Chain A
């Protein structure tokens, strides 16, 4: 009996160590990537075998951060990302709930496909089409146009994440909710948000991330008026300026990381409040 138990624990630990090894490997790989990018942003030698002296210089960092336009670009990008996430949340959550409530059948399938469509269409088609439309509406080259075009590409992710959490958690309480006849504000903020926190957090995080990463729509619809981090970064990367490209990549990673932490923290507060009230 003891032997059997020991055997079981060993086997169990083997699985545990294997998992730690695999996850550790992936994390290690990503750390190596991060360290190499950090190295490329300060080194003067871009290729091995190193001929001559290898020196470390922060000249590129100083040049990029010292540029007065840099702060403006950063604020612009963050501004667009936050507003895009808000627009996506306001449109995506009701849409997700609506689709989930639809009876199974062709109609539901069609709606699902319709909401997935922006993912499926080639990006050039989507943005050139949007640009033609926005010009007619008079919102081409404006912040609103850029935000709407970003929201078009983030909406499918939000709808999908919200649907998953709605269908797995909230749907079973639907009859209860209906019988309680709560006012809309309470139903949304006291019930739907806390219960769907994981889906909403995933969707919002993805929306911000994707909005930050967009290059094509900001370029086409912003028409050069709206500055974005990717837009500033692109010429350096394509032009082969490795050091400046690396600096911008690191700034990018930091901004995205902070966005992610913020959404995480916010969602934790929402969930905590919910448990306290219970």
Chain B
């Protein structure tokens, strides 16, 4: 439906006729604002995905080390606190990060007590900034536990199977994690990173709340054309949606290629 609507021509949409054309795409591609939105959205999505992936791998390694060395089982209930950002919707996490990072917010106040920040005006602009720092931080905060939780069961299974063997071979923690556990959970990691990328690319709530009016994130752009524009302009929003879908499909394809084969773990 979206595809069909995006390929109608402006004239036929106004006149109610049926026709196939790329006019909406031409209008879109000739608009410089659209290209800026595209670069901005893809930029922060890539940064969020890479950061979240890296941080979740670090957290997974820490959890594994704790399970091996310390009283892992005793500490596991505390891990629920790592999953804390998953307990709230994106809207709420945007709200919270807004409260934390704004010039009059919690971080700035803590900085004041630590003697780093002199007055609210001197605090760097982290929310509604043109680099999208607020958007990136809140998405990283929200998606890192997601990637971690999605891969924890698999990691424990791998550990259950190969933990004793690695101890027998006297592998140190680093070797064990990077050379044995990580390759075995790689598929899950890559796929969950792809999900995060797709989600961040098409999401609306956080960029709407913490982003800037120009450039807009693609999701926000589509929604605003849809809501504010004339009825005949709606195919333009659908064209933006189609471009989002293509981007996501390409990223999923790359993810599938990178993820490699899945391994059978006997556990």
Contact = CB atoms under 8 A, between A and B. Distances in A.
Interface string B99-132: 1100010101100100000011000000000000
A257 B241 contact: no
B245 A121 contact: yes
A225 interface: no
A164 B235 CA distance: 39
Interface string B218-246: 01001100100000000001100100110
A120 B245 contact: yes
Interface stretch (B14-22, B42-50, B56-64): B56-64
Contact of B82 (A30, A209, A253): A30
A246 B92 CA distance: 9
A237 B66 contact: no
Contacts of A149: none
B88 A256 contact: yes
Which 5 pairs of residues, A with B, have the shortest CB-CB distance?
A: A47-B104, A213-B89, A19-B62, A256-B87, A48-B109
Contact of A36 (B80, B100, B262): B100
Q: Which interface class (under 10, 10 to 19, 20 to 34, 35 or more) fits B?
A: 35 or more
B153 A165 contact: yes
Interface stretch (A67-75, A123-131, A135-143, A180-188): A123-131
A215 B82 contact: no
B267 A122 contact: no
B151 to A, nearest CB: 9
B112 A253 contact: no
A240 to B, nearest CB: 10
Given A33-B100, A120-B198, A169-B267, A23 B62 contact: yes
Given A48-B104, A167-B264, A256-B88, 18 more contacts: A15-B69, A22-B58, A22-B59, A23-B79, A30-B84, A33-B100, A48-B112, A120-B245, A122-B202, A124-B237, A129-B2, A156-B195, A164-B153, A198-B157, A215-B89, A233-B91, A248-B92, A249-B95
A46 B173 contact: no
B150 A161 contact: yes
A113 interface: yes
A27 B61 CA distance: 16
B202 A46 contact: no
Interface of A: 11-13, 15-16, 18-20, 22-23, 26-27, 30-34, 36-37, 40, 46-49, 109, 113, 116, 119-125, 129, 132, 156, 160-161, 164-165, 167-169, 171-172, 198-199, 202, 206, 209, 212-216, 230, 233-234, 237-238, 242, 245-246, 248-249, 252-253, 256-257, 260
A252 B95 CA distance: 13
17 contacts: A16-B69, A19-B70, A22-B59, A23-B79, A27-B82, A32-B106, A33-B100, A47-B104, A122-B241, A165-B157, A172-B264, A202-B149, A209-B87, A213-B90, A242-B99, A245-B95, A249-B92
A202 B99 contact: no
Contacts of A249: 88, 92, 95-96
Contact of A19 (B65, B81, B204, B266): B65
B91 A237 contact: yes
Contact of A40 (B99, B156, B203): B99
Most buried by B among A125, A160, A215: A125
B38 interface: no
Contacts of B191: 160
Most buried by A among B88, B149, B222: B88
Given A30-B82, A34-B84, A122 B245 contact: yes
A213 to B, nearest CB: 4
B150 A19 contact: no
Most buried by A among B58, B86, B87: B87
A230 B149 CA distance: 23
B199 interface: yes
Given A12-B69, A113-B252, A22 B85 contact: no
Given A124-B241, A242-B99, A260-B87, A171 B264 contact: yes
B81 A31 contact: yes
Contact of B88 (A123, A168, A253): A253
Most buried by B among A36, A40, A212, A242: A36
B163 interface: no
Given A16-B66, A169-B267, A199-B153, A122 B106 contact: no
B256 interface: yes
B59 to A, nearest CB: 7
Most buried by B among A18, A121, A242: A121
B265 interface: yes
B104 A46 contact: yes
B88 A213 contact: yes
